[in-house]
Amino acid sequence: MDTMSYITDTIPQLNARLASREITREALVEQALEGASSHAAKSVFTKLYPEAALAAARAADAAQSAGVAQTALAGLPFTIKDLYGVAGETTMAGSIVCKGEPEQAADATVVARIRASGAAIIGKTNMTEFAFSGVGINPHYGTPVNPTDPLVARIPGGSSSGAAVSVALGLAVAGLGSDTGGSIRVPAAVNGLVGFKSTQNRVPLTGALELSRTLDTVCAMTRSVQDCITVDAILSGAMLPVRHRPLAGMRFAIPQTVVLDGMEPAVATAFARSVATLSAAGALIVEIKLAEFAEMPQRNAPGGLSPIEAFAEHHERIARAKELFDPRVSQRILLGAPVTAQQYIGLLDGRRDWISRVEQAIEGFDAVLCPTIPIIAPEIAPLIASDEAFFKANGLLLRNTFLFNFLDACSFSLPCHQAGELPVGLMLSSVSGDDAHLAAVALAVEAALK
């Protein structure tokens, strides 16, 4: 697959080329559909919508020719994770157990909003079954290969695996995914993309198949921070009021507990280089202990929020057809089975106390900085072969990101590697509801790192 012929531009760059008639939306969508059927995109899509996508692109081209102003996403290729309802289809969510379940009566709220923006939805993307892993392996539909390493088949990250690879291959300007424990930021980090996990209640979950009602967040991956802001405005129904700020004078906290443990050399090098760049640009870097992070195994016990709430969602499917599940997924879901209502309420109460203490500890900082994940993308084959290797990698991939889901934080992952290096993500996070401020910080950090 010749990736040079596919999308590498940001949304504003594409719209500038469209305005000058250098390219057409129809041509972009035709190329994206061609690429979606190529070997490089094997296992990326679970369904394509060629006629509808081309119709959206042609409508936007015609409207532009008639002098009608277009939205930022009009006619541009967009992908949606197979977690979201599409009218007339059964939501499979990376599974085979859902086959035969009722079709959706209406599009999920976010899918309807994407359509209303005029975007050309080219297809549904593959994912970890029921969104329950940060690795991205799927035994039912195959595993998309991370395109950033031409020599080694590495994981795409999960659970929004196909969403990430669709953008990394240049087949879409954005990939709609979800983030419960890191499912946007992990694949963004390992594919060299930008991922934005908003505050959970910013975007409606209506029409999405649940993993964890308390933690599930609707969000997307793109090529730039500004593109994430643009897409978030469509998903949420409201543009973030971002006030651009200089990096000089910003205050960043780097926790010394948990998040820096076990960094692979490539990650440690990229992170240290990024911090040095920000400091040289005038940002104040403060190391803080943040010992509360070490409490996570205790605070998320017993079972864990995701297994408890996933068992509530999937217990009937497990009772009916457990043998059809990815065993690594059912194993994790069943951790929630023995948890009592009393224990569940205790977990939620403990979480509120933990959030209060962490928010107090990071008050006054513009963002918390850490590596998105402490390792580079592992190879696929050893993780398919070994449960031990799989669960070790999964734990490392989700370790840092999950802390900020548990905090109900907003969070960006930005690429911080240099040309010729495998992708590494820099994560910027802030407290619940601080999305607009964090977006301004992310814009400034992105500019410094480039």
Over residues 247-300, the pLDDT tens digits come to 999 999 999 999 999 999 999 999 999 999 999 999 999 999 999 999 999 999
Instruction: Look at residue 2 and tell me whether its pLDDT is greater than 80.
Output: no
Over residues 346-355, the pLDDT tens digits come to 999 999 999 9
Instruction: Look at residue 407 and tell me whether its pLDDT is greater than 60.
Output: yes
What pLDDT does 1 receive?
Answer: 33
With contact defined as beta carbons under 8 Å apart, do 425 and 416 qualify? yes
What pLDDT does 324 receive?
Answer: 98
If you average pLDDT over residues 2-13, what whole number do you get?
A: 77
Over residues 129-176, the pLDDT tens digits come to 999 999 999 999 999 999 999 999 999 999 999 999 999 999 999 999
What pLDDT does 80 receive?
Answer: 98
If you average pLDDT over residues 374-388, what whole number do you get?
A: 98
Over residues 289-328, the pLDDT tens digits come to 999 999 999 999 999 999 999 999 999 999 999 999 999 9
Over residues 107-117, the pLDDT tens digits come to 999 999 999 99
Instruction: Look at residue 399 and tell me whether its pLDDT is greater than 50.
Output: yes
State how far the Cα of 269 lies from the Cα of 417, in Å rounded to an integer: 9
Percent of the chain with pLDDT over 90: 99
Instruction: Give the model's confidence band at 367: pLDDT under 50 very low, under 70 low, under 90 confident, else very high.
Output: very high
With contact defined as beta carbons under 8 Å apart, do 162 and 402 qualify? no
Instruction: Look at residue 222 and tell me whether its pLDDT is greater than 60.
Output: yes
Instruction: Look at residue 391 and tell me whether its pLDDT is greater than 50.
Output: yes
Catalytically active residues are 81, 159, 183
Instruction: Look at residue 42 and tell me whether its pLDDT is greater than 60.
Output: yes
What pLDDT does 425 receive?
Answer: 98
Mean pLDDT of the chain: 97
What pLDDT does 32 receive?
Answer: 98
What pLDDT does 5 receive?
Answer: 52
Domains defined for the chain, CATH in brackets: 3-236 (3.90.1300.10), 251-299+335-449 (3.90.1300.10)
Percent of the chain with pLDDT over 70: 99
With contact defined as beta carbons under 8 Å apart, do 97 and 144 qualify? no
Residue closest to 127 by CA, chosen among 88, 87, 170, 98: 98
What pLDDT does 3 receive?
Answer: 36
